[in-house]
Homo-oligomer: A and B are copies of this chain.
Amino acid sequence: LAENDQLVLGIDLGGTKILTSVINPQGEMLSRDHSITPAAKGPEGVIQAILASSERALMGASIGLDGVSAVGVGAPGLADTEAGILYTSPNLPGWENVPLRDILQERFKKKAFLINDGNAAALGEYYFGAAKGISHFIYVTISTGIGGGIVVDGKILKGSRGLAGEVGHMTIADEGPLCHCGNRGCWEALASGTALAKAAQKRIETGAETAILSYAEGRIDKVTAQIVQTAAEKGDSIANELILKAAYYFGVGLANLVNIFNPEMIVIGGGLSNMGDRLLKPAYQVAEERAFNRSFRMVRFVRAALGRNSGVLGAAAFAFDEMKRAGRRRSAEATKKG
């Protein structure tokens, strides 16, 4: 990925947490700082928190800013890799057209690179995780929402400006529920943790006989995907039914990815993937029923290997990658000028 002695500062900006780390080309994290995203404070407050976390990560690795070659930042939402702008982010209120890359570049006086968080996580799994050596795969994260990143020929599929990979916002039920993105029946609106929690709340409101509420302090607003999982584990049949329905929708979307991409592998990460077989087995079954047989048989479904670190490791990998590309471009130009 890079010269052995280079280091990069990786930043994983999430809607609820910021993770920063000093990372080497082998994917070793020399330090790791984890803090809360002060999302309500808007861009300036969040950027201050990023800077503070970065300082702690550098200190943790016993280096200064001069010890890193670049900064790689992964962020949720529509991240334009070319312009370095985060256009909009559903989980970061007030973020509209923020030139995050240039802001960080100026504060750090270091080359910085911006990438979407799902794409970052895909790169993380590609270089250091479950998809090492797999040239064609899709990373899907299923948690609050559904995100992802697509790797084609060993490179992240960026599309025109880095906005590709929004698999969570493909319509799988054209008349389905409204998604916060403005569309209807998105994969994310039907199969994510939020969708599962909403479906559970609805069932409870309509009087279903279920113990789910008892795991949520009796408060319907405290029902989460995690709570539904707990109820299912205790044998609650409504909870199990709800998870099966989410699994069904998750499988419908997986089948789409199989048919469109004929991938070698689909890597599943995110909080809900920890449900394991309860969610994933029925989802794979639905995908098998719906996708082309031939294409389905070529895919390996595997769980992500890097857990919460896939994003920060991928953001660092992206920075290494981009520096290398820039280096190659420079040397090609030098040869030309000769």
Contacts and interface: CB of A to CB of B under 8 A. Distances in A.
Interface stretch (A37-45, A169-177, A209-217): A169-177
Contact of A160 (B184, B255, B259, B262): B262
A165 interface: yes
Q: How many copies does the complex hold?
A: 2
Contacts of A88: 294
A260 B170 contact: yes
A292 B163 contact: yes
A171 B256 contact: yes
Contacts of A153: 152-153, 155
Interface in A144-167: 150, 152-153, 155, 157-167
B169 A172 contact: no
A159 B255 contact: no
A102 interface: no
A175 B155 CA distance: 35
B160 A298 contact: yes
A294 B172 contact: no
A84 interface: no
Contacts of A263: 159-160
A169 B162 CA distance: 25
A160 B298 CA distance: 7
A319 interface: no
A178 to B, nearest CB: 11
Nearest to A262: B159
Contact of A162 (B150, B165, B262): B262
B249 A161 contact: no
B292 A164 contact: no
A328 B149 CA distance: 30
A198 B335 CA distance: 61
Given A184-B290, A260-B165, A260-B166, A152 B160 contact: no
Contacts of A274: none
A252 B163 contact: no
Nearest to A175: B173
A32 interface: no
What 9 A-B pairs have minimum CB-CB distances, sorted nearest first? A159-B262, A163-B262, A164-B262, A170-B256, A166-B259, A169-B259, A160-B264, A183-B290, A160-B298
